[in-house]
Amino acid sequence: MTAEVPARRRGRPPASEASPGETRERIQQAARELFAEKGFHATSVSEIGDRAGIQRGALYYHIGSKEELLFQIRRNYTQLILDDVARITDAGGEPIAMLRNLIRSHVRLIVEHRHDVTIALRDAGALTGERAADLQELRDGIQRRWQRVFDDGYAAGVLRTNDHVVTLSTVAMLNMVSAWYHADGEYGPDQIADVLTGTILDGVAAPTAHPSKATKG
């Protein structure tokens, strides 16, 4: 008689059975949650390993260091934002329409990646040297594309300012949605985007360019 093979428990596979890519993703997700909950400096490597279900030695094999892990999390998110901004601005169109699309898309991504935004805001100065420079280059790329939309709108006479302070403040305001958004709240991401679009355009649109406010619902 052969011994009965015990059924495998449901859930994630042991690290020894997961592919390197799956293991790295598990580690990144554990770190993302902990960094958002406690902050980068208050999170230990052992806590990341415990949450990911991976021993410390294997953890270092996959991530190199805690700083590298933070860098990869922040870089992946920043690249995602840049790619989406590039998609919208490269498609062209009227400046007001592009601005609406940028705001709506940004709010959606902020809501979907709230942990990443929390980490970026709380631990903005945690990385230095080449890693910090790499992230800054990506952020500059995002800022340039937003600024181009404001510049085009101002040149076309549909926006009354293209001051970079307005551009920077617009993106910063959208990022702060992550601090108060609740999935069970009154507004979903698109409704929030509509309200913010109306508020922003009421402040920067030329009188004939935006005759009405966004409505609720």
Q: Is the pLDDT of residue 138 over 90?
A: yes
Q: Is the pLDDT of residue 211 over 60?
A: no
Residue 217 DSSP symbol: -
- 157: domain CATH number is 1.10.357.10
Is the same domain home to 135 and 163?
A: yes
* Residue type at 201 in one-letter notation: L
Q: Is the pLDDT of residue 91 over 90?
A: yes
Average pLDDT of the chain? Answer: 85
Q: Would 111 be classed as within a structural domain?
A: yes
Domain boundaries, position 48: 14-64
Is the same domain home to 53 and 84?
A: no
Is the same domain home to 163 and 152?
A: yes
What pTM was computed for the model? 0.79
Is the same domain home to 18 and 78?
A: no
How far apart, in whole angstroms, are the C-alpha atoms of residue 96 and residue 73? 32
Convert the pLDDT of each residue in 59-71 to its tens digit: 878 888 899 999 9
- 59: domain CATH number is 1.10.10.60
- Count other C-beta atoms under 10 Å from residue 167's C-beta: 20
Beta partners for residue 159, in sequence order: 205
User: Which residue bears the tokens 């020894």?
Assistant: 16
Last residue of a domain, one of 41, 64, 87: 64
Q: Would 7 be classed as within a structural domain?
A: no
The total number of structural domains in the chain stands at 2
Is the same domain home to 88 and 116?
A: yes
Q: Would 213 be classed as within a structural domain?
A: no
Q: Would 178 be classed as within a structural domain?
A: yes
Confidence of residue 183 (pLDDT cuts 50, 70, 90): confident
**Per-residue DSSP letters for 119-140?**
HHHHTTTS--HHHHHHHHHHHH
Q: Would 212 be classed as within a structural domain?
A: no
Q: Is the pLDDT of residue 149 over 60?
A: yes
Is the same domain home to 168 and 72?
A: yes
Please classify residue 74 by burial: count the beta carbons closer than 10 Å to its beta carbon, then call 0-12 exposed, 13-18 middle and 19+ buried. buried
Is the same domain home to 174 and 118?
A: yes
Alpha helical stretches, state H, the chain: 20-38, 45-52, 56-63, 66-91, 95-112, 114-122, 129-155, 164-175, 177-180, 189-204
- pLDDT above 70 coverage of the chain, percent: 85
Q: Would 117 be classed as within a structural domain?
A: yes
Q: Is the pLDDT of residue 217 over 70?
A: no
Is the same domain home to 48 and 91?
A: no
pLDDT of residue 213: 46
Is the same domain home to 27 and 133?
A: no
> Which H or E run contains 23?
helix 20-38
Buried b (16+ CB within 10 A) or exposed e, 37-71: eeebeebeeeebbebbbbeeeebeebbeebeebbb
Contact 53, 15 (CB under 8 A): yes
Is the same domain home to 60 and 71?
A: no
pLDDT of residue 128: 92
Which tokens go with 37?
């909950």
Helix (H, G, I), strand (E, B), or coil: what is residue 159?
A: strand
